[in-house]
Amino acid sequence: MSAGPGRRALVTGASRGIGQAVAVALAAAGHTVAGSARTVAATAEDGVIGVPCDMDDLSAVAALPARAAEALGGPVEILVHCAGITRPARVTDIALDDWDAVMRVNVTSALRLAQGCVPAMVDAGWGRVVTIGSLYSRMGGRFAGAYAASKHALLGLTRVLALELATKGVTANVVVPGWTDTEMVRAEARSVARANGYGEDEALRRFLRGQPLGRMVTPAEVAALVTFLCGDPAASITGQAINVDGGSLQS
């Protein structure tokens, strides 16, 4: 089945950073977009329909596909899961409450959204699922035990979904940003800086040592790849983890 502009999209984490950039880019590409976060007013002026939802509340997450469908005028055809949190700590110091929260927001909410959105995609014979991973989907990082574990899990979940949907007209891929200029990255820099006794700028400089591009990736650059994966030309791309990382990981 052919799919041009005008598809119905749900983007989580849409109030800032990568999620906001993705929601705006999909709307600019002609899709009707519901943007979800605890608050999404920041994207309203860009044509994104705000459908608030706290990804830490799995009951609210389970209800989100139906609420988005109501706002969009039909079932979700494009699901982009950008929402994510991190709780930096040494592995030996990770609090179980923090571990559970990171897994709930980063992985379990993605599962619940897929369970709510994918059946309608299969029925229609067309759909796109894109999850936002991280360099920590492929590697470890100091103080990132819970976050890295969650992003590894999200990658595995998406790849399995791709295999299960390969003959149904539905693709599932992971976009893997490098160090991206978002508030989450800057907050992580501040946390690492405090733990090591140096400043935020020094933490960012150390983050970027492994990013040959020499600068942070922009949210718009990540959003451009997501938008491509949500269109017809990407119909044969599924089960992939695609880096937008300035050359950090050449795999």
Which residue ranges make up each domain of the chain?
8-178+218-240, 179-216
Could you give the C-alpha distances from 171 to 26, 30, 101, 144, in angstroms and in order? Answer: 17, 20, 28, 29
Helices (H), the chain: 17-28, 58-72, 96-103, 109-124, 145-165, 183-196, 200-207, 219-229
Please give the model's pTM, rounded to 2 decimal places: 0.91
Please confirm, yes or no, whether 198 is among the known catalytic residues: no
Task: Give burial (CB, 10 Å; 0-12/13-18/19+) of 148.
Answer: buried
Selected catalytic residue, list 126, 143, 147, 207? 147
Q: pLDDT means per 10 residues in the chain (251 residues)?
A: 70 94 96 89 72 96 98 98 92 97 98 98 98 94 92 98 98 92 78 82 82 88 98 97 90 67
pLDDT at 1: 37
Round to whole Å and give the CA distance between 103 and 91.
Answer: 15
Give the distance, in angstroms, between the CA of residue 25 and the centroid of all CA atoms in the same chain: 14
pLDDT at 214: 83
Task: Assign 40 to helix, strand or coil.
Answer: coil
pLDDT at 2: 38
Round to whole Å and give the CA distance between 197 and 120.
Answer: 51
pLDDT at 215: 87
Task: Assign 11 to helix, strand or coil.
Answer: strand
The CATH-assigned architecture of domain 8-178+218-240 is 3-Layer(aba) Sandwich (3.40)
Round to whole Å and give the CA distance between 181 and 202.
Answer: 15
Rg over CA atoms, the chain: 17
pLDDT at 88: 85
pLDDT at 43: 54
Task: Assign 63 to helix, strand or coil.
Answer: helix
Up-side HSE of residue 23: CA atoms within 13 Å toward CB?
31
Round to whole Å and give the CA distance between 251 and 237.
Answer: 16
